[in-house]
Amino acid sequence: MNWQIHLPALALAVPLLGAFVSPVAGLGGRLTRNAWMVLVSMATTAICILLWQRVIAGGTVVYVMGAEAWNITLPSGLSWPIRIILEVDAFSAFMVVVGSIAALAGAFFSLRFMDKFTGLEKFSALFFLLVTGMLGMQLTGDLFNFFVFLEIASVASFGLIAFWRDRPEAVEASFKYMVVSTISAMFVLIAVGFFYGRYNAVNIAAVARMLHMGYAEKIALVFIVVSLAMKCGAVPMHMWTPDAYAEAPAGVTCLLVAVSQASLYGLFRVCFSLYGASLGSTVVPWTIIVMGVLSMFIGVTMAVIQKEMKRLMAYHSVSQIGYILMALGVGLLSLKDPQAMADYGFTAMKGGIFHIINYTMYKGLLFLTAGAVFYSAGTRNLNELGGLARVMPLTTFMFAIAAAAIAGLPPFNGFVSKLLIYQSTFAVYPLLAVAALVTSVLTLASFVKVFQTAFLGPAKKTFEKVTEVPASMLLGMSVLTIVIVALTLFPGWTLSHLVEPAAKALVDQAGYISAVMGGGL
Amino acid sequence: MWGKVYSGFGYWDVYFWLLFFVIAAGMILFIRALGRSDYKEGTEQDEIFYGSNEVPEDGADMGVPAASAYWGFVEALRPYYDWLVELHTGIASDYVGYFVLTVAAVAVLVLL
Amino acid sequence: MTGNAPFLVVGIIFFLGMYAILFERNLIKIAIGITLLEASANLLLIVLGYRTGGSIPIYTLAGGTRTMVLPTPQALTLTAIVIGLATSALLLSLIILLYRHYGTLDVREIRRLRG
């Protein structure tokens, strides 16, 4: 128990150490660099799972950086917390587990995928910086610290998206992402400045206790909601998503999917735990719901006409984020009304949170299989691909599982979370469920198109020498496949042990505040 | 126990679906096994039916390119798709423009 | 009114930065606009920490005065300035690479990824 109290700080320190030692490990050649990358990824995943177990067993965990002991949040009788405090409740622990599994798969995949490039110790360093930024966004209890980790993750991802700097499209994609991302980060900083100016505190729990709505808080809420929704890829700020996700190397795209979930975490942490009961009118929940519906529909209709594999999947990413935004918006809408929360709000939140883990797993797997096709066949253009199922059977099998999961076909896990979302949003407004169903059908349509053109069909002469991808890439893809199959076969366990504590922790604003303000555990 | 999920208005049990798929797979394989196995390989009996045309040598000539998939759907929604693809200009300043417009619109809605 | 002048300056610099980002065509001018935006956010943080008649927030050098300006936003601003430095450096190096690849610095020409 005595070293486990440091788990939140370890979850940040281990990938950071991995990032800074990577260039040194690269001096020993390819083997030491790969060994270091595998070691740090597995250590991070283990730490995150242990942290999750500790939170489920013992309640919300706090960790005060730099105090005499780990839990002195209010030192010597002060009534405000004064240091950077990491606060891990069940929702944070859930997101951290999801993110670290995606990072593990991406790291395994990138061991062989980036073979033809030099400078790979820098790739490894940037990769672990991105993992640190993602985990930091999800573990912190401090608004300015959230901004700092947001920027760490963003700058690392700019570098990783532009990693193929000989391709003009990659540099262009990174530049466009960078412009929009930096501007939205400045909006977040201005919002944090507003909070600091009004309440003289940047700790989320401290501000939440003192919050009362005025013009400054409303403007800060708008800035944070729209900026973080942009970082997730919500319409109409989604246009960087297809560019960036398509041009990044495939292992990086798998991790970028998890990083966008971290921004989603920040959005809901601010809405539920910072504002919570004092959210005011229902404008903000309905804004989130409308953004969700638009994202679903525009994402999938743009995806149907795409000709490039990863760009199509990135548009699907936009539409799946729409599902999560709509579901959690419905939960936010019913936050003030306990009867509505018991009727449909809590189910919507469970559906949305289950959809987060489903989406990260199957979308990560889809991007990895697209990367595998690119590695073997040399092209991502669907007009040129064809007949790859004969030579790449394992990749085809995993792609089929992921495509069935994203389309919401029973018995896969995608169907369960979508079922919860359909049934709960129908109670709010029937058109929401109708939009979700239409989106699901169009998702199935576009993935049938991808599966048929890329994998099925007659064998083409240009792809005669294509073979299956190397074993480490298959290992990365199979990590995600195993998690998808486990989520498919045990949805009841997942819902009651993973998702429900997370949903309860999100709704419980008083518990979040008292974990810090109550003087620590 | 682990497979049953109670949603608001019903329940979902994954094991019944898996049982359904197993039964369906059994029926499909039984029907597939009813075929004849006494055909001669390598002759015309083995070729695919290509609309009574010549079967091309290279598979690339046979397949339908992906860009022409769902042509009917896209044509039927042509006004919507033209407007939507025009919106996605690809210019970086437009991306920032949409972001600022969204902030302005949501701020007006929240503050009023 | 004069007490609010710093906030007015923050707003002016913010709008100048947004104008440069939205309506300028040259990539370097867009990068300068982003730097102006960062400057306005940092200035906002510093100005929020000011207390009337306050001295520097160092206990041993403050002299006899009782009020000090708040030190926390100064720490926050330093962090934000460093972050802005990193993003500006990366932005400019990406612009160099873009010029090498595309041969132009016009943001309306650099649109191979669209649709």
Report CA-CA distances (Å) from B10 to A419, A424, A444, A503, B5.
10, 11, 24, 20, 9
Is C108 domain-assigned?
no
Closest partner CB to A416 (pick from B12, B74, B94): B12
CB neighbour list of residue A119: distance below 8 Å, 6 or more residues apart: none
Q: Do B97 and C22 touch (CB under 8 A)?
A: yes
What pLDDT score was predicted for residue A298? 93
Q: Pick the more confident residue, A277 or A241.
A: A241
Is C107 domain-assigned?
no
Nearest to A366 by CA among A398, A320, A325, A408: A398
Is residue A520 scored above 60 in pLDDT?
A: no
Q: Do B60 and A302 touch (CB under 8 A)?
A: no
What is chain C's length?
A: 115
Is residue A506 scored above 80 in pLDDT?
A: yes
Are residues A177 and A247 in contact, defined by beta-carbon separation less than 8 angstroms? no
Residues 180-219 (A) with a CB less than 8 A from some CB of B: 180, 183-184, 187, 215, 218-219
Smallest CA–CA distance from A188 into chain C, residue: C41
The secondary structure of A188-232 as a DSSP string is HHHHHHHHHHHHS--BHHHHHHH----HHHHHHHHHHHHHHHHHH
Q: Do B90 and C30 touch (CB under 8 A)?
A: no
Q: Does A356 lie at the interface with B, CB-CB under 8 angstroms?
A: no
Smallest CA–CA distance from B88 into chain C, residue: C115
Strand, coil or helix: A466: coil
- C60 Cα to chain A: minimum distance (Å): 21
Strands (E) in chain B, as ranges, are 4-7, 10-13
Is residue A27 scored above 60 in pLDDT?
A: yes
Q: Pick the more confident residue, B49 or A378.
A: A378
Angle at C19 between CA C15 and CA C21, to 5 degrees: 120
Q: Do C101 and A158 touch (CB under 8 A)?
A: no
Closest partner CB to C37 (pick from A186, A242, A306): A186
Are residues A252 and A110 in contact, defined by beta-carbon separation less than 8 angstroms? yes
Mean pLDDT of chain A: 90
Min mean pLDDT across A354-358, B3-7, C95-99 is at B3-7
pLDDT band at B8 (very low <50, low <70, confident <90, very high): low
| Average pLDDT for B18-40 | 88
Report CA-CA distances (Å) from A493 to A91, A193, A496, A497, A508.
16, 42, 5, 6, 22
> pLDDT tens string for chain C (115 positions)?
677 899 999 999 999 999 999 999 999 999 999 999 999 999 999 999 888 878 888 878 767 777 888 888 999 999 999 999 999 999 999 999 999 999 999 998 888 888 7
Smallest CA–CA distance from A460 into chain B, residue: B59
Nearest to A492 by CA among A350, A365, A343: A350
CB neighbour list of residue A88: distance below 8 Å, 6 or more residues apart: A8, A51, A55, A60, A61, A62, A63, A96, A139
Q: Where are the domains of chain A?
A: 281-489
Q: Pick the more confident residue, B35 or B99.
A: B99
Is C74 domain-assigned?
yes
Q: Do C98 and A242 touch (CB under 8 A)?
A: no
- Could you tell me the pTM of the whole model? 0.94
- Label each residue of C26-95 as H, E or C: EHHHHHHHHHHHHHHHHHHHHHHCCCCCCECCCCCCCCCCCCECCCHHHHHHHHHHHHHHHHHHHHHHHH
Assign residue C93 the CATH number of its domain.
1.10.287.3510
| Average pLDDT for A266-281 | 87
Nearest to A362 by CA among A485, A221, A186: A485
- A22 Cα to chain B: minimum distance (Å): 33
Percent of chain A with pLDDT over 90: 61
Write the DSSP symbol of residue A322: H
Q: Does C23 lie at the interface with B, CB-CB under 8 angstroms?
A: yes
| Average pLDDT for B24-47 | 82
Q: Does B28 lie at the interface with C, CB-CB under 8 angstroms?
A: no
d(CA A166, CA A246): 15
Are residues A454 and A391 in contact, defined by beta-carbon separation less than 8 angstroms? no
Q: Do C114 and B97 touch (CB under 8 A)?
A: no
Q: Where are the domains of chain B?
A: 4-55+73-111
Are residues A130 and A82 in contact, defined by beta-carbon separation less than 8 angstroms? no
Beta bridge partners of A62: A87
Strand, coil or helix: A44: helix
Write the DSSP symbol of residue A498: I
For chain B, the chains sharing at least 3 beta-carbon pairs closer than 8 angstroms are: A, C
What pLDDT score was predicted for residue A521? 43
What tens digit of pLDDT does each residue of A200-213 get? 889 999 999 888 88
* Structural domains of chain C, count: 1
Strand, coil or helix: A78: coil
d(CA A410, CA C29): 52
Q: Do B100 and C18 touch (CB under 8 A)?
A: yes
Kindly state the tokens that stand for A155.
């700058």
Domain of C35, in residue numbers: 2-102
